[in-house]
């Protein structure tokens, strides 16, 4: 397989996954609007918390690496 064909295949696969995900979300929201909304907000809140924790851990690791080089 050439690189261009592989890249095109990856793009098509990504678009197919995004379309399936969007269709699933619309179907769920159409049939279960309140539950879907609550679960979506909970998942986004969890991702926000994880992002803050990752930033905190990353800064602590950076501080530890600077101390190792200074000693």
Is the per-residue pLDDT at 3 higher than 90? no
- 60 or 25, which is more confident? 25
Q: Give the angle subtended at the CA of 17 by the CAs of 13 and 2, to the nearest 5°.
A: 10
For residue range 5-40, list pLDDT tens digits in order: 999 999 999 999 999 999 999 999 999 999 999 999
- Domain residue ranges of the chain, discontinuous segments joined by +: 1-31, 32-71
**Which token pair is 1?**
């397989």
């Amino acid at each position: 397989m050439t690189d261009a064909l592989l890249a095109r295949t990856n793009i098509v696969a990504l678009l197919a996954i995004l379309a399936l995900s969007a269709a699933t979300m619309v179907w769920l929201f159409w049939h279960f609007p309140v539950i879907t909304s609550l679960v979506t907000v909970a998942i986004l809140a969890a991702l926000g918390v994880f992002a803050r924790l990752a930033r905190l851990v990353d800064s602590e690791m950076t501080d530890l690496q600077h101390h190792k080089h200074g000693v």
